[in-house]
A and B are shown apart, each in its own frame.
Chain A
Amino acid sequence: QVGFGGGNHDRSAPVEVAADNLEVDQSTGRATLTGNVVIAQDDLRLSAARVVVDYAVVNGDRRIDRVNATGDVLIVAGEDAAEGQSAVYVLGTSEILLTGDVVVSQAGSTLAGDRLAVNLQSGAGTVTGRVRTTLQP
């Protein structure tokens, strides 16, 4: 169990996205961002090599349901940071699941594991799978 990001993330805050390229498959509408993709919302910053956006159609209009990031994913929230191979960020629930040799660095200590599950709303984070911790002296 580890605190991550200090909590009370505002999930209705605007999401700014920057990337080198955006490709849209015109028949499915699926959007793929590639090339140093950075997604910023409130105090969350998620950067990755590639991000695929999944939509949900709710009462007629299309809204972003979740964001799938792959390729040296870095998540920064507040003073905490975590790296991993891939991450899924579900906007509605402000939950991020980071997987693939995860390293969490917080205030001088780092924690390594297979997965990090974070709820930005409550600020809770749990690292699971071969958890190793190292303390910087």
Chain B
Amino acid sequence: MVADRHHTRLIKGARILLPVGALILLSTLFLLARTVNPDDAIPFADVDVSLRAKDQQLTSPRFSGVSRNGTEFALTAQVAKPDPKDARKMTAQEIQLTLVGREVSDARVAANTGLIDTATRTVTLTGEVEVETSTGFSLTTPHLQGSLSTLSVTAREGVTGTGPLGRLNAREMHLSEDSEGRQRLLFTGGVDLLYVPPVE
């Protein structure tokens, strides 16, 4: 019957054409796929390893002690690089210094960068130095320097901030301890204050 012959030829043709079509499709798939770069998979730092080994670095060092009159100090930093010539001198980043005096008087100092000499127990803090005291002062100064063996640190390049007496700015600030270890905060060289009485 004509329809049967016609039918089988159709099937025979399909039986050849379809698999070949599938094969072609499959191969183009591989051809077009993006080349996968195996290196991307592992994120690795390309810091020169030899450089890291040469200059040693202390991560989150801590330097603490008690001053002659009883102020406990604790200095921490995010990272500190010892001076190659004298390991007890180091430059540090992100420094936090807490000073706890007798009779609940304490001060917290934070600075971006600084120089610490653990031998002479002196510090030089620079870059956005912030000072918070237990008496409610919150001050900033560009530079604070001094000794921790007997607490005496000074800011000479201007101090601004707020405190119980309102907004404050002064040319110099000096944080020190008296013989009984009580802390004294002294602003000198001209002080201006603006106090707004709280409205009842």
Partners in one complex: yes
User: CB within 8 Å of B: which residues of A?
Assistant: 11-27, 29, 31, 33, 53, 55, 58, 61-64, 91
Interface of B is mostly: strand
16 A-B pairs, CB-CB below 8 angstroms? A15-B166, A15-B193, A15-B194, A16-B193, A16-B194, A17-B165, A17-B191, A18-B193, A20-B191, A22-B168, A22-B193, A24-B184, A24-B186, A26-B101, A26-B105, A29-B135
Selected from B104, B134, B198, the residue in CB contact (under 8 A) with A61 is B198
Selected from A25, A53, A58, the residue in CB contact (under 8 A) with B184 is A25
Selected from B103, B105, B185, the residue in CB contact (under 8 A) with A23 is B185
Q: A27-B101, A27-B183 are in contact. List 10 more A-B contacts (CB 8 A).
A: A12-B199, A15-B196, A16-B193, A17-B165, A18-B193, A21-B187, A23-B184, A24-B163, A26-B135, A27-B182
Tell me the count of chain B residues lying within 8 A, CB to CB, of chain A.
Answer: 36
Q: Provided the pairs A12-B197, A55-B164 are in contact, do residues A24 and B185 lie with their beta carbons within 8 angstroms?
A: yes
Across the interface, do B164 and A62 meet the contact criterion of CB distance under 8 Å?
A: yes
User: CB within 8 Å of A: which residues of B?
Assistant: 101-107, 133-137, 163-166, 168, 170, 182-199
Measured between C-beta atoms, what is the minimum distance from A37 to chain B in Å? 9
